[in-house]
């Protein structure tokens, strides 16, 4: 998918200094160059630029010396940290022939470098894909289709954030014809930053849901944030919107460019789909049966999004079919792990909308054994945390399942409420607070022939119990 691997110079030192609003620089020579940009000191090497960023558990400034010792030719650091560490950093950098660039905001420096680097590729067709769910799958579908006859670069996995998007930009080289950017946001204003970096020629929103609602308070606010994807349209670009979106009127308002729609009503040639259960989905389009290996009817809309984009770019029906059929599930996303217990591993992320869709699929599967839903916490729901977990638990409790297993403090009140009126119901209810209790319960409850859905937010790390399930 990535085109020809070319060792290239991204920037000269002088270019970096001019782009990032440098406060001060220490460099014995301005001849050093940048061939890679890294934020992990373990990835630093000769001619790399290490940008020190704060993290949730540590801070990149604590690893500047590691980066220099690994050969980094330059580092970017925050002024406050420079004042604290310059006695250690400057002598080491001088001994290594490296430059130290001091700025007020290293993250902004990374983003400005990504933006200016992308501007060099005037013929590159840039695509931006966002949405509350389905954006990673849609990105994979689009990239797979386009890569059959073109050189394409796309985010690795889901490096779609204010950090991941500029890092993806540096992977572009002169051989690439298309760049497919998945663009995610979890706080107000982030999408505007990403759109400014990428400046997509084609932008697509998959849907609007409740993911990250803690930071937005309403779906309307989420829609406004996602619509910032189109903020820098100049009139020549094209927006793609889902025809079944409740907030469609809001999304399309004020777009300075063409607006096209995709979905069951709008994607020309769509002839319905067949649900093949665990074997995937068959999408009928233009008389072609497209055999998706991804399960769940929600992937139909993702496929129609990819088809609509590809048609707009002039891709043939044959290549669209072949490219879509090549797409395989990524880790923890609609992934099937077969064994004595079959697992629907869908725990890379979770929100109220995607969790309901996963449960509906579990219920729809024809299965000779028991069906078990193991639901872990959904994060970033803010004040709606208890309500959303309660509503999801009640939704699952009404389904035709054998066991509903709730995991984590967020589900405690839900479990207690459901237990108070669940006597006589066929469905068994279980709850555990921590992994020790979960492990004991899984060993006791799960058995050969079960079909188990694992669904939770990434931070829960529910995949930790997968090895245990495989031992059953």
Tell me if 113 is assigned to some domain: no
User: Do 126 and 57 sit in the same domain of this protein?
Assistant: no
- Say what the pTM is: 0.88
More confident residue, 334 or 271: 271
* H and E: helices and strands count for the chain: 16, 22
Give me the chain's average pLDDT, please. 93
Range of the domain at 447: 335-470
User: Do 299 and 433 sit in the same domain of this protein?
Assistant: no
Are 359 and 396 spatial neighbours (Cβ–Cβ below 8 Å)? Answer: yes
Distance CA(274)–CA(276), nearest Å, equals: 6
**Dmax of the chain from CA atoms?**
79
Pairing of strands 125-130, 202-205: parallel
User: Which residues, 6+ apart, have CB-to-CB distance to 5 below 8 Å?
Assistant: none
> 317-326 and 298-312 are packed helices; what angle lies between their axes, rounded to 10 degrees?
140
Predicted local confidence at residue 6, as pLDDT: 46
Are 138 and 204 spatial neighbours (Cβ–Cβ below 8 Å)? Answer: yes
User: Do 322 and 340 sit in the same domain of this protein?
Assistant: no
User: Do 403 and 354 sit in the same domain of this protein?
Assistant: yes
Predicted local confidence at residue 3, as pLDDT: 43
Residue 34 has pLDDT above 50, yes or no: yes
Distance CA(123)–CA(116), nearest Å, equals: 15
Give per-residue burial for 191-222: e unless 16+ CB within 10 Å, then b. Answer: bebbbebbbbbbbbbbbbbbbbbbebeebeeb
Predicted local confidence at residue 4, as pLDDT: 42
Residue at which a domain ends, from 291, 326, 361: 326
Tell me if 461 is assigned to some domain: yes
Domains of the chain: total: 3
Give 44-94 pLDDT, tens digit per residue. Answer: 999 999 999 998 889 999 999 999 999 999 999 999 999 999 999 999 999
Predicted local confidence at residue 425, as pLDDT: 60
Q: State whether residue 2 is helix, strand or coil.
A: coil
Tokens for 358? 């996963």
> 317-326 and 135-146 are packed helices; what angle lies between their axes, rounded to 10 degrees?
130
Q: Give Rg (Cα) of the chain.
A: 24
Proportion of the chain above pLDDT 90, given as a percent: 83
User: Do 152 and 231 sit in the same domain of this protein?
Assistant: yes
User: Do 233 and 340 sit in the same domain of this protein?
Assistant: no
Question: Per-residue pLDDT averaged across 306-332, rounded?
Answer: 96
User: Do 349 and 322 sit in the same domain of this protein?
Assistant: no
Q: Which helix (H) or strand (E) holds 262?
A: strand 258-262
Tokens for 230? 């189109």
Give 128-157 pLDDT, tens digit per residue. Answer: 999 988 999 999 999 999 999 999 999 987
Tell me if 294 is assigned to some domain: yes
User: Do 239 and 314 sit in the same domain of this protein?
Assistant: yes
Which class for 448: exposed (0-12), middle (13-18), buried (19 or more C-beta within 10 A)? exposed
Are 153 and 172 spatial neighbours (Cβ–Cβ below 8 Å)? Answer: yes
User: Do 41 and 179 sit in the same domain of this protein?
Assistant: no
Distance CA(308)–CA(242), nearest Å, equals: 11
Confidence of residue 2 (pLDDT cuts 50, 70, 90): very low
Are 402 and 208 spatial neighbours (Cβ–Cβ below 8 Å)? Answer: no
User: Do 150 and 73 sit in the same domain of this protein?
Assistant: no
Pairing of strands 335-337, 342-346: antiparallel
Are 176 and 97 spatial neighbours (Cβ–Cβ below 8 Å)? Answer: no
């Amino acid at each position: 998918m990535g085109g020809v691997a070319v060792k290239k110079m991204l920037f000269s030192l002088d270019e970096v200094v001019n782009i990032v609003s440098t406060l001060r620089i220490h460099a014995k020579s301005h001849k050093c160059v940048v061939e890679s940009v890294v934020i992990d000191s373990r990835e630093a090497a000769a001619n790399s630029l290490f940008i020190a960023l704060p993290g949730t558990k540590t801070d990149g400034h604590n690893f500047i010396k590691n980066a220099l010792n690994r050969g980094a030719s330059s580092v970017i650091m925050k002024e406050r940290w420079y004042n604290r560490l310059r006695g250690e950093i400057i002598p080491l950098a001088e001994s290594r022939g490296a430059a130290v660039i001091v700025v007020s905001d290293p993250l902004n420096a990374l983003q400005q470098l990504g933006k200016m680097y992308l501007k060099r590729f005037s013929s590159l067709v840039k695509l931006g894909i966002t949405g509350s769910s389905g954006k990673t799958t849609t990105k994979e579908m689009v990239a797979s289709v386009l890569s059959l006859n073109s050189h394409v670069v796309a985010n690795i996995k889901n490096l779609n954030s204010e950090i991941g998007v500029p890092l993806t930009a540096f992977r572009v080289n002169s051989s690439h014809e298309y760049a497919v950017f998945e663009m995610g946001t979890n706080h107000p204003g982030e999408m505007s930053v990403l759109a400014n970096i990428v400046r997509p020629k084609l932008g697509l929103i998959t849907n609007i849901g409740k993911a990250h609602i803690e930071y937005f308070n309403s779906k309307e606010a989420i829609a406004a944030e996602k619509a910032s994807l189109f903020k820098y349209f100049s009139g020549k670009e094209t927006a793609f919107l889902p025809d079944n979106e409740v907030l469609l009127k809001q999304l399309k308002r004020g777009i300075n460019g063409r607006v096209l729609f995709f979905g069951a009503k709008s994607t020309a040639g769509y002839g319905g789909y067949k649900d093949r259960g665990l074997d995937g989905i068959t999408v009928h389009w233009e008389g072609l049966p497209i055999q998706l290996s991804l399960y769940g009817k929600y992937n139909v809309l993702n496929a129609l999004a990819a088809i609509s984009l590809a048609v707009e770019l002039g891709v043939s029906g044959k290549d669209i079919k072949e490219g879509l059929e090549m797409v395989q599930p990524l880790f923890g996303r609609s992934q099937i792990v077969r064994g004595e217990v079959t697992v629907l591993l869908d725990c890379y992320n979770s929100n109220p909308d995607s969790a309901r869709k996963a449960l509906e699929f579990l219920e729809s599967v024809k299965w000779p054994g028991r069906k078990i839903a193991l639901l872990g916490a959904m994060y970033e729901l803010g004040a709606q945390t208890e309500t959303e977990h309660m509503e999801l638990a009640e939704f699952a409790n009404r389904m035709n399942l054998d066991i509903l297993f709730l995991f984590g403090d967020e589900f405690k009140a839900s479990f207690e409420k459901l237990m108070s009126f669940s006597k006589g119901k066929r469905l068994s209810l279980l709850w555990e607070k921590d992994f020790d209790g979960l492990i004991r319960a899984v060993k006791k409850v799960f058995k050969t022939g079960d079909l188990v859905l694992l669904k939770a937010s990434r931070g829960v790390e529910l995949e930790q119990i997968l090895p245990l399930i495989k031992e059953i």
